[in-house]
Every structure is written in structure tokens, then in C-alpha cells.
Amino acid sequence: MINLELSNKHEETFAQVMMLAEHMMRPYSRKYDKEEHTYPVEMEEVNKLIAGNRASATGKSKKPAADGTVVNGGNMGSVVGLFGLCWGDVGLFLGMPGSGLGNAAITAVGTPAQVEKYGGSYAAMCITEPSTGSDSANISTTAVLDGEEWVLNGEKIYVTDGDRADTLVVWATLDKSLGKAAIKSFIVEKGTPGCEVTRLEHKMGIRASDTAAISFSDCRIPKDNILGSAEVATDAEGRKKAFGGVMQTFDNTRPPVAAMAVGVARAALDMAQALLKEEGVELLYDKKPISLNAIQAELSELEAEWQAGRLLVLKAAWMADNKMPNSKEASMCKAKAARVGNHITLRCVALCQSLGYSEQHLLEKFARDSKIIDIFEGTQQIQQLIVARRVLEKSSSELK
């Protein structure tokens, strides 16, 4: 049975990360928000300080005990750490070396040799294309085997940390006519001929993190740089199967992304409550809702929504640590936490009125940063569709 209290180990991790967030991230939040595309050199020092927990950040965890004892390992450590780091600053966290979403993909489905070689790199994830948003099955970037090399051609957009990363995990199709079954992911080292960063995006939020467009033109990589098998899977009747292998990556990455929303929402709640307390408005937990004024009642509701998102994240991470299928739970926590995270930050801005909207405080920045969390790693609509398929036991073809 899941224990809703954090272990002493993870409580210590959270406390340490919160100190880093408060004293080594928050002081630079406004600087790098204004200086978009400027590399946050201070985050290298933060990264060194959390290097001991890097295994957690990449999703590694101990194997469940043979006697069935539950494990709170790497996945739980990852989300707990992200609660604190994104309480500090979402953009600065994303700009830290080794925190790329591609790292989770390599750890999830890479071979031992791939994990050893690239697991500690700064890996970005290349999925979205100009004509392909949430429909990952419609990938047009191609990968053709030529002797001992794969040749990649295509364009990717909205690649988080695509400029700063030293490794890319690229989704491409072996044969567009075969649909989902032919979509695979490949490891591409930055600097490989034919791989070029063509543009950096100017964004509303997470401005401390770069977002790039990358083109692949006859880009050749070693044959062994495919993640998973190059075979196009078929079922018992010989029908082509969906791209479950690459999609498993999302089961690993969605809980951490949801944890980012939990962190920034907590930051907004803490700051809003501190500002409102100075004006004589304080949330009183010992009062019945009917006895609260309108602002207190809304703060109470926002706290409850935040707690619901947080618990869903912890459950999805706990299931991953115990090797339990968590696709439904991963999408549930991403859908809930990302939605309420954006809602909470915006309402905190509104509740604090001019102080919330002004750059005098970071509340407006929290609201801007929170929106992307509801979009990347699968939009709100995609998460709800995945949950519906799992609950109703429908395939993607049966429920679109």
C-alpha cells in the first residue's frame, strides 16, 4: 500500500533542494527572465551540488524486493526534487545541464551501453514538427538504414534546450506508410554533420531555457544509436502494432513534468499568502469554510487542488519505482497537476491584484512559466484522451 508521507530520505532531499532553490535560483530568476537565451552559468554550481542525486533525476530506482516490499526510489526522488527546484524557478531548472527530457528516454529504453555512454549527457527531446503538434503518430522525419548508419532527414521545432544540449533524442519514422509502428527514437550527438540548430524561439515563459528549431539533412548516425529494436512490431494476427516502445518514455517523463507544475504552483501560493498576510488576510485552517471571507475561501480551494495534483504525482512515481504499469496514472497526474498549476498561478496573480501583475514580485512570472507545463509532454486534451482509453479499455483506433 502506498504511504502518503515522504520517507526521511526524501524529506532531507526536499529540504536541501529548497535551500538551493531559495538562495541559488530565486536571486537570478528575474535576471535570466529578462536576458532570454543567456546561459545561466550560476546553475552549473547548483547542478554540481545536486549531482549526488543525479540518478534520481534520470529516473533510476532500485528493484522491488523479492518479498514484495514497496520501494520509494529514483522516480520518487526525482519528483520530490522537482517540487523544490521548480518552486525556485522552472526556466532555470530546465537550463541546468543533465536535466533534459531526453535523459529520461535514454534511461527508460536505452541499452546498458547507451545508458553508460549517454545517460549522463545533456539530452534534449526532438518530437514536434511544423506539421505535427500533438499527433506524434504523424511524424514525418525519416530514418533510413544505409549500411552501418542511419540517415535522418526532417525538421523538429520547440525543442527544449535544443541549443545547449549535447545530445538529442530524435523521433523518426522508418516507413511513413506503416504508421505508428514504424516510429522509432534515435540518439544524435550535437555537432554531427547534417544536424543544425536553425532558430531560437522567443517565448512567454521559461525564458531562461532555450527552445530551438533543429533540422536534419542527410544526418548520419551509428546503427547502434537507435533506442529499442529496429523491427516493426506485429501482433499475433500479423497486424502492425502501435509505437508502444517509444511512448513508454512518456510514462517516465510525465510525472516529473507534473511535479514541475506542483512546484511552481506552490511557489505562487506561498508568495500570494505572504503578500495577503501583510494586508491582514490570512488563511485559517481551523475555520469552517462558511466562516471564511471570499479570499480565504478561494485560497482554501486552491490549496486543496494543489494537494490533489501533488498526491497524483507521488502515486505515479511510486508505481514506477515498484515496476507497476503507470501509463494511466502518469497521464492523470500530468493532466491534473498541469491544469491546476496554471489555474493556481493565475488566480494568485488576480488575488494580489497590482502586486500580482507587477514585476515587483515574481507572481506574474510564475503564471507565465506555468502555462508551458500544461502544453509540453502532451497537452491537456491528449492526457484526457489517454486516460479515457485506459479507463474504457479502448485502443487508439477505437477512441480518437
Number of structural domains in the chain: 1
pLDDT band at residue 180 under the 50/70/90 scheme: confident
Tell me how far apart the terminal alpha carbons of the chain are, to the nearest angstrom.
34
- Average of per-residue pLDDT values in the chain: 88
Domain that holds residue 29: 1-400
CATH classification of the domain holding 191: 1.20.140.10
Alpha-carbon distance of 245 to 288, in angstroms, equals 49
Considering the candidates 129, 303, 377, 398, report the single residue annotated as catalytic: 377
**Any idea what the Cα angle at residue 16 is, between residues 336 and 65, rounded to 5°?**
70
**C-alpha cell at position 173:** 519514422
Structure confidence at residue 176 (pLDDT): 87
**C-alpha cell at position 397:** 483506433
**Any idea what the Cα angle at residue 34 is, between residues 257 and 86, rounded to 5°?**
25
Q: Indicate whether 238 pLDDT > 50.
A: no
Structure confidence at residue 47 (pLDDT): 82
Structure confidence at residue 169 (pLDDT): 95
Beta strands 149-160; 167-173: pairing state: unpaired
pLDDT band at residue 33 under the 50/70/90 scheme: very high
Three-state DSSP state, 116? helix
pLDDT in tens, 124-139: 999 999 988 767 778 9
pLDDT band at residue 99 under the 50/70/90 scheme: low
Indicate the Cα dihedral angle 341, 319, 133, 138, nearest 10°: -170
Structure confidence at residue 59 (pLDDT): 42
Indicate the Cα dihedral angle 22, 27, 28, 33, nearest 10°: 90
**C-alpha cell at position 352:** 494580489
Under 8 Å CB-to-CB from 22, ≥6 apart: which residues?
88
301 as an active site residue: the answer is no
CA distance to 72, 256, 264, 343, per residue, from 16 (Å): 18, 18, 17, 28
Structure confidence at residue 110 (pLDDT): 87
